[in-house]
Amino acid sequence: MERRELLKLIATATGTALFAGNVFAYNDIPAVPLSNTLFNEKDVALLNEMGEVIIPQTDTPGAKAANVGATMAVLVSDCYTPLLQKTFLDGIKKISSLSQTRFNKQFVQLTKQEREALFNDLDVEAKAANLANGVYQGVETGKPSQWEPGTDEPTPHYFTLLKQLTLYCFFTSQVGATKVLRYVAIPGRYDGAFPYKKGDKAWAT
């Protein structure tokens, strides 16, 4: 898969207006050994824990159940430019550092409340940083965004990348599509007036 196509798909699936595209299920991506990525098993476990804060298990599965960390490892390694890879990897280290500084504990040792407090603060920081750095300028002006080839800067805040990947990897996974969304393997015709009742799950197909 080409990087440009993937990044457009991520934005579409996560509802972030950086670009347009079509959603696909990442189950179509062949299995890639971690040894061929920039990550190891410990990294994947940490990404799953971080993803679980963004999509926690409730009465439906959370991010860990979909093993979003393993898919993030492949997508970041295969489809991100070196600059975006560095932003993401440095960001994961930053989150670990903030955990130590703020709570004197590793991220995996934080309580649910501590993890949520940390991520809520990072979310506010990320939105402000993206706005200040003109990350969404390409959308507003019609000019190429940082996601287009050769226009890497400014990069999104690292927490934005983590959040986008978590949402994308989860809702395009088998778990997310069939256990959280409504999924029909062979959808029928388009019906723009299909009845909706409050509380109905969104459609994955």
Q: 140-178, pLDDT tens digit by residue?
A: 444 445 545 455 567 889 999 999 899 888 877 777 656
Quick: pLDDT tens for 28-41.
444 667 778 899 99
CA 181 to CA 204: how far, in whole Å? 5
CA 181 to CA 50: how far, in whole Å? 21
pTM comes to 0.71
Q: When comparing pLDDT for 80 and 21, which is higher? A: 80
Q: Has residue 193 got a pLDDT over 80? A: no
CA 142 to CA 104: how far, in whole Å? 45
Q: What is the pLDDT of residue 16?
A: 44
For the chain, what is the mean pLDDT? Answer: 74
pLDDT average, residue stretch 187-192: 53
Domain ranges of the chain: 3-180
Q: Has residue 11 got a pLDDT over 70? A: no
Q: Has residue 111 got a pLDDT over 80? A: yes
CA 154 to CA 88: how far, in whole Å? 13
Q: When comparing pLDDT for 35 and 107, which is higher? A: 107
Phi-psi region of 15 (alpha: psi -120 to 50; beta: other; left: phi over 0): left
CA 197 to CA 205: how far, in whole Å? 18
